[in-house]
Amino acid sequence: MLRKGGLAIFQEPVRNSQLLRFLRRLIPYQAPDVSPFERPLTDQELATYADGFSSYESKAFLLPTTSLVNVALPGRRRLIHACIRMDAAILRHFRGLAYYSTARVVRLIK
């Protein structure tokens, strides 16, 4: 619960692309800290959730390739950090790819 003017910032997994949702279902990996009932939201679902707030901002992070590298090569911190930096540069220069991001940081003000 937030008071009027209160600020909430959180990261949320997202999956807008139907193709990516389909492909993800083919990969049996599930992180140990994720319950079987959780699922990534869509940008539209996040926007609908934000309807009751006076301010809503969302920024895309991570492209699917970084998630794949993280699953395929766990523990390779330098490589993962390089992928994250590369994703940030790609998303900065090609804003249309934000649709395919796998995570969003959301900022809400009540």
What pLDDT does 68 receive?
A: 83
- DSSP element (H, E) containing 45: helix 43-49
**Mean pLDDT of each 10-residue bin along the chain, 110 residues long:** 92 88 74 79 93 94 88 88 95 94 95
Q: What is the pTM of this model?
A: 0.77
The answer to whether 103 touches 61, Cβ cutoff 8 Å, is yes
Sequence-separated (6 or more) residues with CB below 8 Å from residue 5: 109, 110
The answer to whether 100 touches 20, Cβ cutoff 8 Å, is yes
